[in-house]
Chains A and B, each alone.
Chain A
Amino acid sequence: MPLRNQDDMYKRRKRRTAKNNIFRTLFFTATTVGLIVLAMLIYRVLSQGTGSLSWDFIRNFAAPYPDEAGLLAGIVGSLYLMGIVAIFSIVVGVSTAIYLEEYAKKGKLTTFIQMNIQNLAGVPSVVFGLLGLTFFVYVLDFGYSLLTGGLTMSLLVLPIIVVSSQEALRSVPSELKEASAAMGASKWQTIFRVVLPAALPGMITGSILALSRAIGETAPLLVVGAATAIYSLPDSVVDSYTVMPIQIYSWISKPGDEWPLLAAAGIIILLIFLLIMNTIAVLIRNKFQRRY
Chain B
Amino acid sequence: MSTIAKPIVKKQSEEKTIEKDSVFGVSNLNLWYGTDQALYDIHMDIYKNEITAIIGPSGCGKSTFLKTLNRMVEMVPIVKTSGTIKYNDENIFDPKYSVEDLRTRVGMVFQKPNPFPKSIYDNVAYGPRIHGIKNKKDLDTIVEKSLKDAALWDEVKDRLHENAYGLSGGQQQRLCIARCLAIEPDVILMDEPTSALDPISTMKVEELVQNLREKYSIVIVTHNMQQAARISDKTAFFLNGELVEFTETDQLFSNPADKRTEDYITGRFG
Q: What residues make up the interface of A, taking CB atoms closer than 8 Å to B?
A: 105-106, 173-186, 189, 193-194, 197-198, 290, 292
> Chain B: how many interface residues by the 8 Å CB criterion?
26
Known: A184-B100, A193-B130. Contact between A106 and B77, CB under 8 A? yes
8 additional contacts, CB 8 Å, given A182-B180, A183-B130, A186-B100? A175-B114, A178-B72, A181-B72, A183-B103, A184-B101, A184-B127, A184-B130, A184-B183
Cβ-Cβ contact count across A and B, 8 Å cutoff: 65
B110 CB-CB contact with A under 8 Å: yes
Contacts of A193 in B (CB 8 A): 126, 129-130
Chain A's nearest CB lies how many Å from the CB of B182? 8
Whose C-beta in chain A lies nearest to the C-beta of B108? A182
Whose C-beta in chain A lies nearest to the C-beta of B105? A184
Chain A's nearest CB lies how many Å from the CB of B144? 19
Chain A's nearest CB lies how many Å from the CB of B105? 8
> Among residues 88 to 119 in chain B, which have CB atoms less than 8 Å away from a CB atom of chain A?
100-104, 107-108, 110, 112, 114-117
A177 CA / B75 CA spacing, docked (Å): 10
B11 CB-CB contact with A under 8 Å: no
B174 CB-CB contact with A under 8 Å: no
Would B116 and A194 count as touching, CB distance under 8 A? yes
Chain B's nearest CB lies how many Å from the CB of A271? 36
Can you list 14 contacts pairing A with B, beta carbon distance less than 8 Å?
A173-B114, A175-B112, A176-B116, A176-B117, A177-B75, A179-B110, A180-B130, A181-B75, A182-B70, A182-B108, A183-B104, A193-B126, A193-B129, A194-B116
Would B77 and A178 count as touching, CB distance under 8 A? no
Contacts of A184 in B (CB 8 A): 100-104, 127, 130-131, 183
B70, B107, B114, B126: most-surrounded residue (chain A CB, <10 A): B114
A176 CA / B103 CA spacing, docked (Å): 15
Would B75 and A178 count as touching, CB distance under 8 A? yes
Would B103 and A181 count as touching, CB distance under 8 A? yes
Contacts of B183 in A (CB 8 A): 183-184
B176 CB-CB contact with A under 8 Å: yes
Q: What residues make up the interface of B, taking CB atoms closer than 8 Å to A?
A: 70, 72, 75, 77, 100-104, 107-108, 110, 112, 114-117, 126-127, 129-131, 176, 179-180, 183
Would A105 and B77 count as touching, CB distance under 8 A? yes
Would A183 and B107 count as touching, CB distance under 8 A? yes
Contacts of B100 in A (CB 8 A): 184-186
Chain B's nearest CB lies how many Å from the CB of A285? 16
Chain B's nearest CB lies how many Å from the CB of A16? 42
Whose C-beta in chain B lies nearest to the C-beta of A184? B104
Contacts of B103 in A (CB 8 A): 181-184
Chain A's nearest CB lies how many Å from the CB of B165? 8
A144 CA / B179 CA spacing, docked (Å): 57
Would B117 and A290 count as touching, CB distance under 8 A? yes
The residue from A105, A189, A198 contacting B130, defined by CB atoms under 8 A apart: A189
Whose C-beta in chain A lies nearest to the C-beta of B129? A193
A181 CA / B75 CA spacing, docked (Å): 9
Chain B's nearest CB lies how many Å from the CB of A100? 14
Contacts of A198 in B (CB 8 A): 117
A197 CA / B117 CA spacing, docked (Å): 9
The residue from A174, A175, A183, A185 contacting B180, defined by CB atoms under 8 A apart: A183
A281 CA / B113 CA spacing, docked (Å): 31
Contacts of B107 in A (CB 8 A): 182-183
The residue from B102, B104, B116 contacting A179, defined by CB atoms under 8 A apart: B116
Chain B's nearest CB lies how many Å from the CB of A286? 16
The 3 A-B pairs at the shortest CB distance, nearest first, are namely: A184-B104, A175-B114, A182-B108
A105, A185, A198: most-surrounded residue (chain B CB, <10 A): A185
Whose C-beta in chain A lies nearest to the C-beta of B103? A184
A111 CA / B2 CA spacing, docked (Å): 54
A193 CA / B127 CA spacing, docked (Å): 11
Whose C-beta in chain A lies nearest to the C-beta of B127? A183
Chain A's nearest CB lies how many Å from the CB of B118? 8
Chain B's nearest CB lies how many Å from the CB of A188? 10
Contacts of A181 in B (CB 8 A): 72, 75, 103
Contacts of A174 in B (CB 8 A): 75
Chain A's nearest CB lies how many Å from the CB of B149? 16
A182 CA / B129 CA spacing, docked (Å): 14
A186 CA / B102 CA spacing, docked (Å): 12
